[in-house]
Chains A and B, each alone.
Chain A
């Protein structure tokens, strides 16, 4: 998983507005953002957009090729693939957002503590982070998901915990840069408590690279959820999930190849959206990286 490395931005409203303008000036951020918004809207309005009930089987329409009635065809149980792809956006987006929220909720405080207080606490947190980072991301997520049990909720926890160390390391690094700034020394000299310094003065100034990393990690989380569902460790059937749809499709490659095409294209599109958005945000918020 790549890591966003950005200088901490100064905390003033005017600059933040210009950062937003810079984001909008990045074509990749705009295209990526548009793709992500499209899928968010699809997920929200799934009941209005889906032509059929995604779980309703039609025994007279088993494995039908794409037609005017079923645009993406039907699956092995006669369910409409377009409706399942539309509803599947919910599981993917939820997995992306919640996993990253878990990773951030655990990783940012630990990174703040390690970076700000240093010493033994930093050493313990950093060594544990190294140990977690040494385990390949998906292997760790599979092991955790297996131990927790197969469900979308447990998959999200497993992905969140596996993605946590990257946020610890990133936050710690950013805190080490910011805590040496004059304004932090000044508030410390004023006798402000450590907790207030961390929450009110350090956290807002290390958030930009964390947001970029969060966007990139969402792409990884969506891919990981699809991978876990494909292995049977994520969303359980009959609830629609793109990964589990591909797992079923694999068994009918010769008879119904269309079953494998659409869910995969949906995964590629949403992951590409998050990757483009993350790249664009990184370019916009990090002038040193632009064009590289």
Chain B
């Protein structure tokens, strides 16, 4: 197992390096001089030169890239032009907020998606299957920002049960934290539930055709036990791995959801960075998102090996 993990880590390194080159080039391809953005109103050539030399922007591009990469490996992402704060600190402050949202969304997705997918697979070809499948496709087709607006309209504006936006830290008030994060998690969880449902359904359909399921039925085992004891255990293996992989993708949804609900998370950080032309922040966020996605792929692969007895052997 350790050998497998090490091999997967080694494969991820060149991909990560390429991502870093891409992200670095993105900033360099930009029209405009980042030093002028850093200098603000200051137009004194000496100050400009000083800043250029301070941030090593007078070095050749490959040197700049290795300086930048070296800094990142030590946790130094540079300074935000807008807030003048170290970007690494900003990420550490905002990432837990998005991770909490993503985990809550995934729990909602699993609670809704797995039973719905199992039900659709058992009742395959019946109106119930079509209904569940259509709801799943609908869940994939709803833009998260619109669903967020509609839920605000219903639960905050009309009923007044939940706040329309904002955020309270978990350690400040756990109850308020739940109230503020319930709607955004529900929004994020809807599309994820649809994906989990579709994966569960197709995986269970394939599992229910297996010989050992037929044998269990032939033994006279009740259908409920056939499904829960035999089919579900194996049918859920690919679902667990795809769900882990999907956690990395939830970040895309978080960008819009955090924007709608005004949550100061990782997703909102990229939007704020874009509008304040704080490209170092955008660079850092894209890079971190890619690292997280690769990390989730690694965890998904490991989970698959651990859960699948055939591969483990």
Taking Cβ atoms with an 8 Å cutoff, the residues of A that contact B are 127-128, 130-132, 134-140, 142-144, 146-147, 219, 223, 226-227, 230-233, 246, 249-250, 253-254, 257, 260-261, 263-264, 267-268, 271-272, 275-276, 279, 291-292
Contacts and interface: CB of A to CB of B under 8 A. Distances in A.
Interface of chain A, main secondary structure: helix
B19 A135 contact: yes
Contacts of A233: 274
A142 B29 CA distance: 16
Contact size class for B? 35 or more
Nearest to A233: B274
Interface of B: 14-16, 18-19, 22, 26, 29-30, 124-125, 137-138, 140-143, 145-146, 149-150, 152-153, 157, 164, 201-202, 205-206, 248-249, 251-253, 255-256, 259-260, 270-271, 274-275, 279, 282, 285-286, 289-290, 293-294
Contacts of A261: 150
B10 to A, nearest CB: 13
Contact of B146 (A128, A231, A268): A268
A142 B255 contact: yes
Given A136-B252, A143-B26, A147-B29, A223 B286 contact: no
Nearest to B250: A136
B255 A138 contact: yes
Contacts, number: 131
Given A147-B29, A246-B145, A272-B137, A139 B286 contact: yes
Contacts of A127: 14-15, 18
Contacts of A139: 251-252, 255, 270, 285-286, 289
Contact of B150 (A136, A264, A271, A276): A264
A230 B78 CA distance: 29
Contacts of B248: 136
Contact of A230 (B19, B141, B153, B256): B256
B270 A142 contact: yes
Nearest to A132: B22
Nearest first, the 5 closest Cβ-Cβ pairs linking A and B are: A264-B146, A131-B18, A138-B252, A146-B274, A271-B141
A227 B145 contact: yes
10 contacts: A130-B18, A131-B19, A132-B22, A136-B289, A137-B249, A140-B286, A146-B282, A254-B157, A261-B150, A291-B205
Contact of A249 (B124, B149, B285, B290): B149
Contacts of A292: 201-202, 205-206
B238 to A, nearest CB: 12
Given A131-B15, A142-B270, A264-B143, 9 more contacts: A131-B22, A143-B26, A219-B140, A231-B255, A257-B153, A260-B146, A264-B149, A275-B137, A291-B124
